[in-house]
Structure formats: structure tokens, C-alpha cells
């Protein structure tokens, strides 16, 4: 039986999800907005992420130098992030800090300031962050691979944005975007922990009930056309390590293929789970995974990692491989593609399916081991589909069959569906 989640929609459209979990005297609050990099128009790539940064810079009733201290005085934790489908903010602290956490999020929703000087200083910070990422070959290759795999859908843009847009955006661009999207009818508030639901809802109404709803105009993203042949991108710059990435157009969460592909990745690279916040922080069980045996055990690669994340629209299943020193990338690619061709043409075995399902079940337990993670998952799935999917994850994984995984491998791992990325380093000049 699934834990009870109280769902309520305020008159202004704010959806509230509350779950009582009394394992410790703590509460976790997440405020989610249905806006991410896929919602950005021409000239505004990176605006969602930049707005997220600005919303830590103080509000009408919270001086900029007091934002951190409100939660830290309770010994709490705070953070936020932006990705392709969503932007979110979180605080986890002792249960007696609940009212302060709700106050912060109501202020963030309605009263952020966007001081022009802060906008300019943050421009410098974000451009520096972008350039720092581009100095990491693995990050740069991932960005270029995604932009090559997508021709039409805005998932092709990096969440941090393109440099030209970051250089030209104005304070008015940022503030206008904030006001259009940060409205209660575009948000989900999640509260999990040692709370009384009735009391929590009273506090939510006090803090959020007076915030006016807004008209949220959504642009329908262009549907990505079917890829008709392999695409390739090669990057060459100074470095010491070679990287190979293979990207395959992957199903969205709502596609029947999503869970078979999730199981397929567990067979190929080890089970990760489906928690964007927590799943990739601990190494997956890989010793018996097909690509680990084909690449790491043979000395061709020092690491291999796969990733398929639940998203609103079809995104990518990406396999990232780090070559061992002195190993040519063509050898690594040949071995990787040979193993993928074996599973594409021969499918998976019942034993592999059983092991993958067992590993995924375990990951679901580990990635929901705290009120912070539970609250994250409720809000994350609500932004891309419905929070109830979160409570059906194990059931959906258990329902996957050998035939479904094999069929997904045959369709999704086809050569015409892949994009190959190389980072082939040039020796560092002395």
C-alpha cells in the first residue's frame, strides 16, 4: 500500500502535496515550477537557470544577506536546481522551521527584487560557470553530443545557455520571465516530514493563498523528427584523457518503452534508479554489466556509465566511456558498438532481467531513504507527468518482460538512432 499523500489545489491554482513521515523531527519543503530550458525562446537560452540564481538574491521582505541564515539558524539545508523540464527550490530543517521555509518560498514566488547590480554580477558568475564546464572535456562533449542529436526540439540547448545569449540578456528579460512563470498555478509545493497535514495546509494558505494566479502561455516544443542516420561529432583540444559518448533517442516517461529501456540500461551499465537528485551520486553495481565486462575488464576503458532519466518529452539515453591511457578511441568505439549490437540482435536473458529488476528495486529503496528524497520525487514526477507515477515505480519495473527489453534494444540501439561523440585530446604543449 502506498504512503498517503494529501493533494490539494488552492483557489489560485497552487498544487500542494503533503506526506507525513515521522522517522525524525524534520520537514522538507520543495517548491517546483513547470519551467526549464525547453521553455526558452530564441535569444533567451539559459534564462531559466539565471532566474533561479536571482531568486536567491533577496526579496521585498528578506534582505539578500539573510536568505541563507533563515534556514541555517535551524541547522537546515537549502538548495535549488534547473533542468530541461523544471526549476525547483528546497529546504530541509527541523519541523519547527516549517513556517519559515514556507515563508521563504512564498517570498520567492511573489517578491524577488532583481536589483540591476545583482543581475550584472550574476551574469559574470554564470558565464564563468559555463566556461568552467567547457573546460571539462566530459561536460563539453555531453553538451555537443546533445546539440548534435537534436535538430528541432529545445532539449538541444544546454540548461546553462549559450554564451551569446548570456552576454546579451537584460534585467528586463530576466524579471519578465520570472513574473510570467513564477505564479502559483504553474507551481507545485511539496511538504514531507514530521508534520500535521491540517496544520501544514493552514500555514500554506496563510503564506500562499493571497498570491494571484497568472496566465501561463506555453510554447509547444517542435517535435523532434525521426533521425535517419548516424550522426557524429569530434572535439579536439588539449587534454590528457579521451572520452567516447553514445547518445540514442530515448522514450519519454509516458512512452511504454521507458521502463524496458531503464531495465536495458541496468543490464548494460548497472542500475541507477530514477532520482535525478540522488541516483548518480553513488556508483551503480557494474561488475556483471555487459559494457563493463566488454570495456573495463578488457582494459579498454577506465569507466563506463549509462543514463536514462524520466522526462516529459523524448530525451537521450547516453552512454559515457572514459578510455584508458593510450587506447585509441576507434578501438573503444568498436568494442562498445559490438556489445550493443549483440544485445540489439540477441536481446537479454531471463537471468539478466531478474538481476536488473532486483538491482533497480534496491536503488528505489536507497534513493528514497530520506524525507528530502521522497519530497523530491513527488515534485519531480508531478512536473513531468503525475506524482502517482512515483508510487508505481516498482510495479512498473516488475512488469517489464524479457520480450519488452529485447524489443526496446532492437529499436532504440539501431545505428540510425545514435549519435557518436569523441573527445580526442591533443597532447598538452609544454
Residue 343's CATH number: 3.30.830.10
**Residues 6 or more apart in contact with residue 166 via CB below 8 angstroms:** 46, 50, 123, 126, 127, 130, 160
Shared-domain flag, residues 373 and 281: yes
Mean pLDDT of the chain, nearest integer: 96
Shared-domain flag, residues 132 and 279: no
Shared-domain flag, residues 254 and 154: no
Residue 402 lies in a domain: yes
E-assigned strands of 311-388? Answer: 316-323
Shared-domain flag, residues 283 and 164: no
Of 174, 193, 208, the one marking the end of a domain is 208
Q: What pLDDT, on the 0 to 100 scale, is given for residue 67?
A: 76
pLDDT band at 430 (very low <50, low <70, confident <90, very high): low
Of 177, 193, 208, the one marking the end of a domain is 208
- Contact, 141 vs 421, CB < 8 A? yes
Cα gap 263→294, rounded to integer Å: 19
Shared-domain flag, residues 43 and 104: yes
Identify the CA nearest to 295 among candidates 322, 275, 262, 328.
Answer: 322
Shared-domain flag, residues 73 and 204: yes
Shared-domain flag, residues 162 and 252: no
Of 208, 243, 261, the one marking the end of a domain is 208
Residue 428 lies in a domain: no
Residue 219 lies in a domain: no
What separation in angstroms does the CA of 319 have from each of 237, 277, 336? Answer: 21, 19, 10
- Contact, 341 vs 377, CB < 8 A? no
* pLDDT tens-digit series, residues 247-295: 999 999 999 999 999 999 999 999 999 999 988 888 899 999 999 999 9
pLDDT band at 24 (very low <50, low <70, confident <90, very high): very high
C-alpha count within 13 angstroms, C-beta hemisphere, residue 233: 19
Total domains present in the chain: 2
Phi, psi of 121 (to 5 degrees): -65, -35
Q: Would you say residue 241 has pLDDT above 50?
A: yes
Cα gap 420→415, rounded to integer Å: 10
Q: What pLDDT, on the 0 to 100 scale, is given for residue 320?
A: 98
Residue 407 lies in a domain: yes
Percent of the chain with pLDDT over 90: 90
Residue 213 lies in a domain: no
Q: What is the mean pLDDT of the segment spanning 7-34? A: 97
Q: What pLDDT, on the 0 to 100 scale, is given for residue 137?
A: 94
* pTM, rounded to two decimals: 0.96
Residue length, the chain? 430
Shared-domain flag, residues 269 and 154: no
Q: What pLDDT, on the 0 to 100 scale, is given for residue 1?
A: 47
Shared-domain flag, residues 155 and 40: yes
Q: Would you say residue 43 has pLDDT above 70?
A: yes
Q: Would you say residue 181 has pLDDT above 50?
A: yes
Residue 217 lies in a domain: no
Residue 27 lies in a domain: yes
Cα gap 264→409, rounded to integer Å: 7
Q: What pLDDT, on the 0 to 100 scale, is given for residue 100?
A: 95
Shared-domain flag, residues 35 and 152: yes
Residue 29 lies in a domain: yes
- Contact, 29 vs 98, CB < 8 A? yes
- Within a 10 A sphere around the Cβ of 398, how many other Cβ atoms? 11
Shared-domain flag, residues 188 and 252: no
Domain that holds residue 151: 6-208
Phi, psi of 138 (to 5 degrees): -65, -45
Shared-domain flag, residues 247 and 165: no
Amino acid at each position: 500500500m502506498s504512503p498517503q499523500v494529501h493533494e490539494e489545489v488552492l483557489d489560485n491554482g497552487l498544487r500542494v502535496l503533503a506526506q507525513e513521515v515521522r522517522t525524525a523531527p524534520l520537514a522538507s519543503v520543495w517548491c517546483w515550477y513547470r519551467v526549464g530550458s525547453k521553455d526558452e525562446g530564441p535569444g533567451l537560452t539559459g534564462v531559466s537557470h539565471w532566474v533561479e540564481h536571482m531568486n536567491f538574491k533577496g526579496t521585498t521582505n528578506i534582505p539578500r544577506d539573510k536568505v541563507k541564515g533563515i534556514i541555517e539558524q535551524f541547522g537546515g539545508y537549502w538548495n535549488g536546481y534547473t533542468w530541461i523540464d523544471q526549476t525547483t527550490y528546497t529546504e530541509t530543517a527541523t519541523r519547527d522551521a516549517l513556517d519559515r521555509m514556507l515563508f521563504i518560498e512564498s517570498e520567492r514566488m511573489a517578491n524577488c527584487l532583481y536589483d540591476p547590480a545583482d543581475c550584472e554580477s550574476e551574469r559574470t558568475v554564470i558565464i564563468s560557470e559555463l566556461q568552467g564546464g567547457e573546460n571539462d572535456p566530459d561536460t563539453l562533449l555531453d553538451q555537443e553530443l546533445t546539440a548534435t542529436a537534436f535538430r528541432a526540439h529545445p532539449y538541444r540547448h544546454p540548461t546553462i545557455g549559450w554564451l551569446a545569449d548570456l552576454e546579451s540578456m537584460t534585467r528586463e528579460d530576466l524579471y519578465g520571465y520570472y513574473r510570467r512563470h513564477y505564479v502559483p498555478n504553474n507551481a507545485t509545493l511539496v511538504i514531507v516530514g514530521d508534520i500535521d497535514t491540517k496544520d501544514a495546509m493552514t500555514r500554506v494558505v496563510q503564506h500562499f493563498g493571497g498570491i494571484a494566479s497568472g496566465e501561463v502561455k506555453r510554447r509547444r516544443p517542435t517535435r523532434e523528427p525521426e533521425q535517419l542516420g548516424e550522426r557524429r561529432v569530434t572535439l579536439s583540444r588539449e587534454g590528457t584523457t579521451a572520452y567516447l559518448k553514445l547518445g540514442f533517442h530515448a522514450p519519454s516517461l509516458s512512452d511504454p518503452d521507458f521502463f524496458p529501456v531503464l531495465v536495458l540500461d541496468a543490464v548494460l551499465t548497472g542500475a541507477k534508479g530514477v532520482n535525478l537528485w540522488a541516483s548518480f551520486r553513488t556508483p551503480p553495481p557494474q561488475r556483471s554489466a555487459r559494457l563493463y565486462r566488454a570495456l573495463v575488464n578488457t582494459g579498454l576503458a577506465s569507466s563506463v556509465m549509462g543514463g536514462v532519466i524520466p522526462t516529459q518529452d523524448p530525451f537521450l539515453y547516453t552512454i559515457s566511456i572514459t578510455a584508458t591511457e593510450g587506447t585509441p578511441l576507434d578501438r573503444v568505439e568498436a568494442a562498445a558498438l559490438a556489445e550493443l549490437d549483440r544485445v540489439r540482435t540477441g536481446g537479454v536473458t531471463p537471468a539478466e532481467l531478474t538481476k536488473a529488476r532486483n538491482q533497480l528495486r534496491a536503488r528505489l529503496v536507497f534513493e528514497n531513504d530520506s524525507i528530502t528524497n521522497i519530497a523530491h520525487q513527488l515534485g519531480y514526477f508531478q512536473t513531468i507527468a503525475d506524482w502517482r507515477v512515483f508510487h508505481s515505480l516498482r510495479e512498473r519495473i516488475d512488469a517489464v518482460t524479457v520480450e519488452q527489453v529485447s524489443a526496446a534494444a532492437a529499436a532504440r540501439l539501431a545505428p540510425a538512432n545514435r549519435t557518436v561523440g569523441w573527445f580526442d585530446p591533443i597532447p598538452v604543449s609544454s
